[in-house]
Amino acid sequence: MSTGATERLADQLSGTPALELRRGASLARLSTFRIGGPAELFAEVQEERALLALLAAARRAGVPFHLLGLGSNVLFPDEGVGGVVARLGGRLRAIRIRGRTVSAGGGAPLGQVARRAARAGLAGLEALSGFPSTVGGAVYMNAGSYGTEMKDVVCSVRLVTAEGGRCRKSMADLEPAYRRTNLRGGGAIVTRALFVLAPGDPAALVARIEELNARRWQALPSGQPNAGSIFRNPPGDYAGRLIEACGLKGATLGGAQVSPKHANVIVNTGGATAADVLGLMRRARDEVADRFGVVLEPEIVLAGPLADRFVT
């Protein structure tokens, strides 16, 4: 897939420091679902000023911009994604520790930050260590696990706005709630987050991380590509319980299957398409709504046109 505007954008940005561009990169290879067509233009952004240059050029050219984290909670369309798909790297993945504070780039894997902090004798991130997200993605959705949410450990964040501005905000400014902040839909990108943690014993903290991660992975299917939880838990209940109560554990469509191990996970059994996954999602949504009157909302990101296709 290619459009003249994106081609011209790629030519214009060629040679920009700290910006690596690649046409037609496979999104399936960048997603834990192993599903999706090519990115029209893939960008590895290694510094904040390169991100600003990319956003400004895309805005002027009218080219869509999509930010990719670890690819662990996203479903890409089979036809691929037009415009720019960008990922933060380089200095935007850097982790620095000073005293009780940890400064981490928005592109840094949250699990890596947690382990670095634990080895430095800083406590607070152990419960989040198994969350498969970048720091920026975890802030964006106020990720939580085992009773700890990002709002509990993040002091402030640095943002680049869709209009090209830069600012720093406290976590409270982002109005964090269950699996969401006010960053949703605004286009701002988290380029750095500052954690303030408590002192602890490094060996005990690392052991706690291993314990929690073993518990987490024991409850989830392994060995088959997936994107973790498909739906958000509705208030006072669990999406997996509702889907299982509808008898959908093990249900299949093409190469996609509702995991027999966890009903809120869809796995790629081999050759699954985005259409297969979306079809199972619609079936689960509709049957849960009919039986329980509960409307399940996707927790995974439905990229490109998939969000509209899910609704219809």
- How many Å apart are CA 47 and CA 53, to the nearest integer? 10
pLDDT at position 1: 44
- Who has greater pLDDT, 285 or 220? 285
Is the pLDDT at 235 greater than 50? The verdict is: yes
Domain containing 27 equals: 4-91
pLDDT at residue 312, as a whole number: 78
Q: Using only C-alpha atoms, what is the Rg of the chain? A: 20
Which one, of 167, 143, 164, 161, lies nearest residue 153 by Cα? 143
85 with 98, same domain: the answer is: no
At residue 164 the predicted structure's pLDDT band, cuts being 50, 70 and 90, is confident
Residues 109 and 195 in one domain: yes
When pLDDT is averaged across residues 222-244 and rounded to a whole number, the result is 94
299 is an active site residue: yes
- Give the CATH number for residue 175: 3.30.465.10
pLDDT tens per residue across span 245-258: 999 999 999 999 99
- Catalytic site residue 259? no
Q: Strands 81-88 and 38-45: what pairing?
A: parallel
pLDDT given for residue 177 in this prediction: 92
Pair 109, 194 in one domain: yes
Query: What is the rounded CA–CA span in Å between residue 126 and residue 68?
Result: 24
Of residues 68, 60, 49, the one with CA closest to residue 303 = 68
Do 140 and 243 lie in one domain? The reply is no
Q: How far is CA 64 from CA 25, 56, 69, 189, 190, in A?
A: 16, 12, 17, 15, 18
Identify the domain boundary among 37, 63, 91.
91
Q: Considering 72, 91, 110, which residue would you say is the last residue of a domain? A: 91
CATH code of the domain containing 76? 3.30.43.10
pLDDT of residue 252: 98
Q: How many domains does the chain have?
A: 3
- Report, as an integer, the average pLDDT of 92-103: 97
- Helix/strand/coil for 305: coil
Same-domain check for residues 134 and 209: yes
- Residues 104, 50, single domain; the answer is no
CA distance 66 to 185: 12
What local confidence, expressed as pLDDT, does residue 146 receive? 87
In tens, the pLDDT along 116-163 reads: 999 999 999 999 999 889 999 999 999 988 889 999 999 999 999 988
Q: Can you give the pLDDT at residue 246?
A: 98
Q: Output 247 or 221, whichever has higher pLDDT.
A: 247
- Which of 36, 57, 91 terminates a domain? The answer is 91
Reading the block at residue 187, the tokens are 């286009």
Q: Which of 282, 283, 299, 309 is catalytic?
A: 299
By percentage, how much of the chain surpasses pLDDT 70? 99
17, two tokens:
């420091």
- Mean pLDDT of the 221-244 span: 93
Q: Is the pLDDT of residue 178 over 90?
A: no
**pLDDT above 80 (res 219):** no
Distance CA 60, CA 250 (A): 47
User: Mean pLDDT of all residues in the chain?
Assistant: 94
Is 179 marked active-site? yes
Instruction: Determine the average pLDDT of the residues in 14-21.
Output: 96
- Band (21; pLDDT cuts 50, 70, 90): very high
| Contact in structure between 299 and 230 (CB atoms under 8 Å) | yes
Enter the DSSP assignment of 152.
Answer: G
Over the stretch 62-73, which tens digit does the pLDDT of each residue have? 999 999 999 999
23, 179, 232, 283: which one is catalytic? 179
Assess whether pLDDT exceeds 90 at residue 101.
yes
Candidates 48, 229, 259, 285; catalytic one: 229
